[in-house]
Amino acid sequence: MTRQIIVGNWKMNGTSRDSLALVEALLAGLPATGPDIVTCPPFTQLALLADKLKGSPIALGAQDCHKDVSGAHTGDISPAMLTDLGVSYVILGHSERRQEHGELDETVREKAVAATKAGLTPIVCIGETEDQREAGEHFDTLGWQIKGSLPDNFSGILAYEPIWAIGTGRAATEDEIAETMKFLREELVRQFGEAGKTLRILYGGSVNAKNAASILSITDVAGALVGGASLNVEAFLSIIGAASAA
């Protein structure tokens, strides 16, 4: 069985004081054994938390990176800068980046290549809108996103987050997730051959303490990308516990 991974995406939340308090509480409450755990704070907290998490069971992740090693890109962060801080993972292509910053599949693909070259594990997000699902276009949408966003020889993690479930409190149903995961696995095998059989797929979109156990038990769900619940110590520890039991 593939070891599950729980990734906390803090988004644009977390002052230094709050971030330290959250991480200290998480470390104090972790079970003796469990899934892989990644926390992805804002860029401003990476250096602070890198020192705190060094040698701990929690790996450090970032929420984005640029495709270039360096250059005239005001406000951007390169993959090399992240690895220099001790970052191991990076979230790429989140729907909020795609929608608010106009990121295309090609952009995400270039970032995934750059992240991998720098030694980071890319967590590439895909997902359909509510209109696309209702129109029966969700599988076509996801297939094209995989083709456009994942580079050849991709060895990172795929995260499926239906856009209509992000931050709404309305997670996809177990049947919807199971059907989509089956499609994603088949599509990964179709596009990547044998390698597609072992790529980890996460589910994200209103994952919380109440629904985590049922979601994480679904075939091909190798973990969760957690948004709001990752900012609540008890909720995030409960999700980690559900992954341990899955």
Catalytic annotation, residues: 94, 161
Dig out the tokens for 81 from the structure: 């800068």
Q: What is the C-alpha to C-alpha distance for residues 102 and 105, in angstroms, rounded to an integer? A: 10
Question: Does the annotation flag 71 for ligand binding?
Answer: no
The answer to whether the CB of 87 falls within 8 A of the CB of 46 is: yes
User: Is residue 196 marked as binding?
Assistant: no
Residue 86 among known ligand-binding residues: no
Q: Is 227 annotated as a binding residue?
A: yes
Residue 54 · residue 33 · CB < 8 Å: no
**228 annotated as a binding-site residue:** yes
Q: Is 153 annotated as a binding residue?
A: no
Residues 6+ apart with CB under 8 A from 13: 42, 231
Q: Per the annotation, does 206 bind a ligand?
A: yes
Bridge partners of 202, per DSSP, are 159
Helix extents (H) in 102-173: 105-117, 130-134, 138-149
State the Rg of the chain over Cα: 17
User: What stretches of 25-133 adopt beta strand conformation (E)?
Assistant: 36-40, 58-62, 89-92, 121-126
Q: State the Cα–Cα distance between residues 146 and 143, nearest whole angstrom.
A: 5
Task: Give the residue ranges of the annotated binding site for substrate.
Answer: 9-11, 167, 206, 227-228
Task: Give the residue ranges of the annotated binding site.
Answer: 9-11, 167, 206, 227-228
